[in-house]
Amino acid sequence: MLPLDDIKVVDLSRVLAGPWCTMTLGDLGAEIWKIESPAEGDDTRQWKPPEVAGISTYYLAANRNKRSIALDLKHQDGQAIVKALIAKADVLVENMRAGTLERFGLGWEAARAINKRLIYCAISGYGRDSPAASRAGYDAVIQAESGLMSITGEAEGEPTKHGVAITDLVTGMNATQAILAALIARGRTGEGQFIDVALLDGAVSLLANIGSNYLNTGKPPRRFGNAHPTVVPYQTFHTGQGRFVLACGNDLQFRLICREVIGRPELADDPRYRTNTARVANRDTLIPLLEQVFATRPAAHWLSALWAAGVPAGVIHDLPDVFASPEVTGRELVQRVAHPTIGEVALVRSPLRLAGTPVGTPTAPPLLGEHTEAILRDVLGKSGPEIARLAASGAVRLA
């Protein structure tokens, strides 16, 4: 039995933050009813290339373990179907513009009147009570406005966004945590609750130690590229052949580097470098010394020596290297599942590893409306003629 085997989720989200949340709930066993517009479905279905057999690989990344029902929220019958699903659901996840679902009679108050046990998670860019609540929230803008871009990139370069939509992904994780907590609370109270999750909130929380530094010292941070602002040496180094990342997290590790790896024990005893605080203050002299040493041998030599000494270090992999690496293949992080049109689709497996209640074998991200008929029939008990009428009226789309 999976942890969320008996949980039903109405998924009114699209793009990434909401779908990432509901995908995780699906990994844990919840039944996900992914509600999509009949015309084009989830926005990410159109985000291509790249694509496989006409299907967006972006869409494939965030929608395993779901059942797609295509319906028109502007149609009265479409709204009635969603209300019927809400009556049977445990969780609703949405990331519509503020006020959108209220216009369709599907906002929090209306949903709560239908099902007092419902956990209603609203995901937005800025939060429902924010002065910017009416603005659309997209990851790139949130990275800019949250300060994440200002601390990312080379010291003399432009502020840089993360390589993936990190604020969307973290918001999806935050929403998942909040929903799981609300399910536990409901077990005690018998009632659901409203959850307000914002991309900006999650992004500002990601400032972590950098944010704490500014709040408590008043000093604005600067960019350090691949180096660390408060730990030294903690950065990328170029060698005689190749490069690697060194993550020296404490004074003991620095002594190991000096004495066992590079053969420069005097550096460990030098008062300029003996402690991390001193190394941060004197990085401008220490780093060139280390660069000179590392330039004498290839990266493979230094990595072998660092690993033998127990010092954290690693290669900068590109994606072919990542998915061929023994660390990834050994954990079976890629799963291949049957797909109705592609034949087989490759997915990165859930990172959640529970010994007693492991996540289930994934199902492929659904085709648009692939499960409309089955959900109407099996979940809501509608007859064949009634389903045909709904399809003819434009309220739903059958696969």
Positions annotated as catalytic residues are: 168
List all residues 6 or more positions away from 66 whose beta carbon is below 8 Å from its beta carbon.
11, 22, 23, 26, 32, 33, 34, 363, 365, 366
Q: Nearest-CA neighbor of 27 among 365, 271, 256? A: 365
* Radius of gyration over every alpha carbon of the chain, rounded to an integer in angstroms: 25
Question: Number of C-alpha atoms within 13 angstroms, CB side, residue 139?
Answer: 17
51 with 57: CB under 8 angstroms?
Answer: yes
The distance from CA 159 to its chain's CA centroid, rounded to whole angstroms, is 22
* Residue listed under structure tokens 């779901």: 66
Q: Nearest-CA neighbor of 294 among 256, 331, 258? A: 258
Q: Is 320 exposed, middle or buried (0-12, 13-18, 19+ CB in 10 A)?
A: exposed
**Residues forming beta bridges with residue 244, ordered by sequence position:** 237, 315
Please give the sequence-ordered ranges of beta strands (E in DSSP) within 91-183, or none if there are none.
91-94, 119-124
Q: Nearest-CA neighbor of 359 among 60, 30, 29? A: 29
Residues 68, 259: Cα–Cα separation, whole Å: 60
Residues 112, 119: Cα–Cα separation, whole Å: 9
CA 14, 16, 20, 23 dihedral sign is positive
* Residue listed under structure tokens 């996540």: 359
138 with 132: CB under 8 angstroms?
Answer: no
How distant, in Å, are the alpha carbons of 53, 217, 234, 316 from that of 223? 42, 17, 14, 20
**What per-residue string of b and e applies to 111-135 under the rule 16 or more CB within 10 Å gives b?**
bbebbeebbbbbbbbbbeebeebee
